[in-house]
Every structure is written in C-alpha cells, then in structure tokens.
Amino acid sequence: MPSLHQTIAADLRTEIATGHLKAGERLPSESRLARHYKVSTPTLRNALALLQAEGLIEKIHGKGNYVRGPLRRLTYTGGRLIPDTDLHVKTRTTNLRAHGDLIPLLKVPARTPLTEFLYLTHQGESPHSLTRVYIPRAPAPTKPTWHLSATEQSQDQISARLPTPEEASMLRISATLAVLSITRVSTDNTGRVMEAALLVLPSDRADALFTTHHTTEERETEG
C-alpha cells in the first residue's frame, strides 16, 4: 500500500501530466498543500522531494516550488556537449591556489596559482549543467579551450554519482538524483597538463555517447 507521501506525489504528478499544473507555474505554498492533503509539513516535503528527484518540479530558494518544463537533453560525445543551442551560460572567474584533488589532477605543486572558470548553463531560468575549468597561471591564463581545441591530447573519465550539497543547490536538483561526473584533462605533447574540466550533468537530461572505430587489421582478426 502506498505511503501518504507517495499518494500525494502521485496526485501532484497527475496534475502536472494533465496540464492542471503548467510548466513554470508556482505550486501552492508547502503549508497550504499540507493543509489540503491533511498531512504534516515533513510528509508533504517528502512528496515534493520525490517529484524533484523525477525532474518534475524544482525548488527555488526564497520563492517556492515550480513545475519544470521539458528538459533539453544533451549528449556528451568527443569532448563536446550536443546540442548546445537554446541554452545560455553564466560565467564566473576566480583565482586560487592548487589544493586537495587539484594537485594530482593538474600535476602541479601545492599552492600553484590557478584560474577557475565556472560555467553554469541555464535553460530559461533553470540551471541545466555545471562545468569548472582549471588552468595553471604560469604562464598567464588564457580563455579555456576544452570545448574548442583539437590539437591537444585529452582523456575523459566518466562516472555516475550523487551530487555534492553544493552541486545540488546550484543545479536545483534533489540530492538523490544521480549525475554524470566527467573529468576531462588536456595535455600538450610533453605530457604537461594544460587544463582540467570537471563537468556535472544531471542524469535526467544528459547522455554519454562513445564511438569505436575498428582498423582493417582488427576486423580481419575478429573475422
């Protein structure tokens, strides 16, 4: 038998599916919804958390819960996100020192000057994906080339995990929604790390595509 919060989530899910609650529309306040369903506020929040994990609603701090529109899916392939249209990016640049996991990732000594480029991609008013690019500041940093350059060697490591509290807050997603975590490291011909890009893509709007090209010798061996 479904629990109370599952029953409430099912009812709100139907309201969204049938168009009674439209994309971009603000839900009634949590206290009002709790009174409507005759449940406690924690029970009501558990129901909303289910819908947030499904990508049906998002909670905007200080404003309330809103119905999410259809999410544009992105495909990560060959170091690029496709398509990249109909999305806009907010950028923040910060100077910092190498610490923690950045030291082995960039192969630099501790406290090496770095520049962090933070990209928060939006679909309309909703955050869509998050990217951090780190570049050593010796010599002086240039604009990141992780999404443009084809002359450097690169290696991608992709894993699925839960978002950190900061990532969940910035992307307005549930802490229980898995994300694709992509670490892309670009090096020059000497093996020196030019930059490292850390992408966080919520799993409800992203796919990873891999294409394998076989040589003639490999086909003959397989045959």
CATH number for the domain spanning 179: value is 3.40.1410.10
Domain that residue 153 falls in: 74-208
Paired tokens of 117: 């480029």
54 with 92, same domain: the answer is no
100 with 203, same domain: the answer is yes
Closest CA to 122 of 68, 49, 183, 185: 68
pLDDT of residue 76: 87
152 with 185, same domain: the answer is yes
Please report how many Cα atoms fall inside a 13 Å half-sphere around the Cα of residue 181, on the Cβ side.
Answer: 10
First to last CA, the chain: 55
The two counts, helices (H) then strands (E), for the chain are 6, 11
Task: Output the pTM of the full model.
Answer: 0.75
115 with 160, same domain: the answer is yes
Residues in the chain: 223
111 with 180, same domain: the answer is yes
pLDDT of residue 103: 97
Closest CA to 3 of 38, 41, 47: 47
pLDDT of residue 173: 86
pLDDT tens sequence for the chain (223 residues):
889 999 999 999 999 999 999 988 999 999 999 999 999 999 999 999 899 888 889 888 788 999 988 778 888 887 777 766 678 999 999 999 999 999 999 999 999 999 999 999 998 888 899 999 999 986 545 556 544 444 568 899 999 999 999 999 999 888 888 999 999 999 988 889 999 999 999 988 888 888 777 666 655 555 5
Picking from 67, 83, 107, the residue at the C-terminal end of a domain is: 67
* Contact (CB, 8 A) for 212 and 78: no
Paired tokens of 207: 């796919």
pLDDT of residue 137: 86
On whether residue 220 sits in a domain, the answer given is no
Picking from 14, 44, 67, the residue at the C-terminal end of a domain is: 67
Closest CA to 23 of 125, 122, 120: 125
On whether residue 33 sits in a domain, the answer given is yes
107 with 193, same domain: the answer is yes
The three-class DSSP label of residue 115 is strand
On whether residue 83 sits in a domain, the answer given is yes
**Number of structural domains, the chain?**
2
CA–CA gap between residue 19 and residue 153 (Å, rounded): 49
14 with 94, same domain: the answer is no
On whether residue 219 sits in a domain, the answer given is no
34 with 127, same domain: the answer is no
On whether residue 10 sits in a domain, the answer given is yes
